[in-house]
């Protein structure tokens, strides 16, 4: 007879182990379980959760609850920004669900389903049928609007995830405002409700499209847990929705539907009461959305992020010693994401100008200076912008794009084209290396959709 002891960890992040003792009477026979007991990592026996002190039981229960809403192995398996992002996102979802109760109540008033008069009771079937048709119609029109919005925006969800995520929240608030106005204009229920539903579907589409991009970088860099994070986000949003709905019903009962005996609430009074609650909730939702977007980190380099990185490096007239300053002055993606603007597009110093005719004379006079370069630059002193074109007969690489944009930025800052190109050639490689060491993705550049790169050839510069 022989004995075999095995240790099995209870979970991936638990300090408790299960010690199983097996007995084997004869070779080749199945082992019988002799005993199972809980031990710690050193093999010392520990008590079960039902025999532990109240503090330990509370701690164990807390871990059970957090395991429902947080990814396995938290916090080691997620980005440091995951918790603040999740907190603000939860607050935004909860306030949105509270507002949803109020807007639904206003829609029902607009349909006439809240009337208690005898006439309404007599023709209740007709009202219910009309309400159902109107509801289905406004939902259908709203979904069509959402599909058209996604077709129009396309890949900009990946490039400007923060901007469109906040825009989604703003569209939800706009939809809520329109729905609350329905009781004041019941004849135009389909029109107003459809516009509200278009805004709501646009918001839902934008939220769904940007969620994957944000979750991608909130996942741990060494863990393949994107599915776990997405699933736990769904659990968080579900709980926020349930909690927000319950609070919304409570607020509606206390502050909206409260009335004296035999008092009939007029639609205008209902709208007023709903607005008193909805406006603060909208402010909380927008602020929470803004805060969550700030923590949405991304190592992808866009033109805006690259210019935010380059601006402190070239705020002086001289570029001497710039290579030695790269390591200290280039921020990490985590540091930059908290300060980068995303509500409004800042004015760009680099212009991917599609209108060649506007600069034909100036380009033709200087094109010989760019004979060995894959790009052509023209500085516009009036707008303090630098226009850039890339040659169509060249195989433009990411390094060439970095060099061209860098030269454009230096030219816009210093105003001397020869020095700008020489400096760009000198520091492009060290800059890319420093960006990579700081955690930036230098494999590609995400450029603005509205100002695409324009490729030209020398023939297009010759005047007719």
| C-alpha R_g of the chain | 31
Torsion sign (Cα): 309, 310, 313, 317 = negative
Instruction: Measure the CA–CA gap between 155 and 157, rounded to whole angstroms.
Output: 5
Instruction: Measure the CA–CA gap between 137 and 132, rounded to whole angstroms.
Output: 9
CA atoms within 13 A on the CB side of 133: 5
Identify the band that residue 50 occupies on the pLDDT scale cut at 50, 70 and 90.
very low
Rounded to the nearest 5 degrees, what angle is found at the Cα of 318, between the Cα atoms of 312 and 322? 55
CB-based contacts of 127, cutoff 8 Å, min separation 6: 111, 112, 113, 120
Identify the band that residue 92 occupies on the pLDDT scale cut at 50, 70 and 90.
very high
CB-based contacts of 41, cutoff 8 Å, min separation 6: 15, 17
Ranking 136-150, 165-179, 255-269, 308-322 by mean pLDDT, the lowest is 136-150
pTM, whole model, 2 decimals?
0.77
**DSSP code of 385?**
E
Q: What is the per-residue pLDDT across 280-311, written as a single tens digit (0 to 9) for each? A: 999 999 999 999 999 999 898 888 888 889 88
Q: What residue spans define the domains of the chain?
A: 2-69, 82-298, 302-461
Instruction: Measure the CA–CA gap between 373 and 391, rounded to whole angstroms.
Output: 8
Tokens of 159: 């490039």
**DSSP code of 312?**
G
Identify the band that residue 66 occupies on the pLDDT scale cut at 50, 70 and 90.
confident
Instruction: Measure the CA–CA gap between 92 and 288, rounded to whole angstroms.
Output: 5
**Strand 455-456 vs strand 385-391: parallel, antiparallel, or unpaired?**
parallel
Tokens of 211: 């969620």
Using a pLDDT cut of 90, give the percent of the chain over it.
21
**DSSP code of 438?**
T
Identify the band that residue 315 occupies on the pLDDT scale cut at 50, 70 and 90.
low
Tokens of 156: 């900009």
| Residue keyed to tokens 């907190």 | 87
Contact between residue 363 and residue 464 where contact means Cβ atoms under 8 Å apart: no
Instruction: Measure the CA–CA gap between 464 and 460, rounded to whole angstroms.
Output: 10
Please report the pLDDT score of residue 28 as a whole number: 59
Instruction: Measure the CA–CA gap between 335 and 356, rounded to whole angstroms.
Output: 38
Please report the pLDDT score of residue 49 as a whole number: 45
| 162 three-class SS | helix
Instruction: Measure the CA–CA gap between 104 and 313, rounded to whole angstroms.
Output: 53
Options 1.20.1090.10, 1.20.1250.20, 3.60.70.12, 3.40.50.300; CATH of 82-298 = 1.20.1250.20
Please report the pLDDT score of residue 16 as a whole number: 61
Q: What is the per-residue pLDDT across 320-348, written as a single tens digit (0 to 9) for each? A: 677 877 888 899 999 999 989 988 877 77
Q: Give the burial string for 170-188 (b: 16+ CB within 10 Å, else e).
A: bbbbbbbbbbbbbbeeeee
Instruction: Measure the CA–CA gap between 181 and 178, rounded to whole angstroms.
Output: 5
Q: Give the burial string for 369-389 (b: 16+ CB within 10 Å, else e).
A: ebeebbbbbbbeeeeebbbbb
Strand partners, 351: 387
| DSSP assignments along 254-311, one per residue | IIIS---TT----HHHHHHHHHHHHHHHHHHHHHHHHHHHHT----EEEHHHHHHHHG
Q: Give the burial string for 220-236 (b: 16+ CB within 10 Å, else e).
A: beeeebbebbeebbeeb
Per the model's pLDDT, the better-predicted residue between 46 and 345 turns out to be 345
Residue 29 burial (C-beta neighbours within 10 Å; 0-12, 13-18, 19+): exposed
């Amino acid at each position: 007879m022989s004995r075999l002891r095995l240790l099995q960890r209870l979970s991936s992040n638990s300090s408790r182990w299960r010690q199983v003792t097996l007995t084997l009477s004869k070779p080749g026979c199945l082992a019988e379980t002799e005993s199972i007991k809980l031990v710690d990592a050193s093999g010392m026996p520990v008590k079960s959760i039902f025999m532990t002190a109240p503090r330990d039981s509370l701690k164990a229960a807390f871990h059970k609850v957090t395991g429902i809403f947080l990814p396995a192995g938290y916090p080691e398996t997620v980005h440091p920004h995951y918790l603040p992002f999740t907190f603000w996102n939860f607050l935004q979802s909860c306030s949105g669900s509270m507002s949803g109760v109020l807007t639904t109540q206003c829609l029902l008033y607009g349909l006439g389903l809240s009337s208690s008069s005898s006439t309404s009771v007599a023709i209740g079937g007709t009202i219910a049928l009309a309400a159902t048709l109107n509801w289905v119609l406004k939902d259908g029109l709203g979904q069509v609007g959402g599909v058209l919005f996604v077709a129009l925006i396309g890949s900009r969800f990946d490039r400007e995830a923060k901007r469109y995520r906040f825009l989604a929240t703003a569209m939800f608030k706009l939809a809520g405002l329109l729905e609350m106005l329905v009781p004041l204009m019941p004849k135009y229920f389909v029109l107003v409700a459809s516009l509200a539903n278009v805004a709501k579907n646009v918001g839902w589409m934008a939220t769904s499209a940007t969620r994957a991009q944000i979750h991608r970088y909130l996942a741990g860099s060494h863990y393949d847990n994107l599915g776990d994070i997405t699933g736990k986000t769904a659990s968080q949003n579900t709980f926020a929705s349930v909690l927000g709905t319950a609070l919304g019903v409570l607020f509606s009962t206390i502050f909206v539907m409260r009335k004296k005996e035999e008092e009939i609430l007029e639609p205008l009074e209902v709208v007023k009461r709903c607005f008193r609650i909805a406006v603060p909730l909208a402010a909380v939702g927008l602020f929470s959305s803004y805060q969550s977007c700030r923590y949405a980190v991304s190592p992808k380099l866009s033109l805006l992020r690259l210019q935010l990185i380059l601006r402190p490096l070239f705020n002086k007239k001289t570029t001497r010693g710039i290579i030695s300053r790269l390591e200290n002055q280039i921020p990490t993606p985590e540091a930059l994401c908290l300060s980068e603007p995303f509500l409004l597009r800042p004015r760009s110093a680099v212009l991917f100008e599609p209108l060649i005719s506007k600069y034909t004379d100036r380009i033709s006079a200087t094109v010989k200076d760019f004979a060995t370069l894959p790009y052509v630059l023209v500085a516009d002193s009036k707008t303090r912008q630098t226009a850039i074109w890339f040659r169509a007969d060249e195989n433009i690489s990411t390094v060439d794009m970095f060099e061209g944009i860098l030269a454009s930025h230096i030219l816009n800052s210093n105003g001397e084209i020869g020095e700008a190109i020489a400096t760009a050639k000198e520091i492009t490689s060290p800059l890319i290396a420093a960006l990579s060491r700081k955690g930036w993705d230098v494999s590609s550049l995400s450029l603005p959709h509205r100002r695409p790169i324009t490729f030209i050839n020398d023939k297009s510069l010759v005047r007719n």
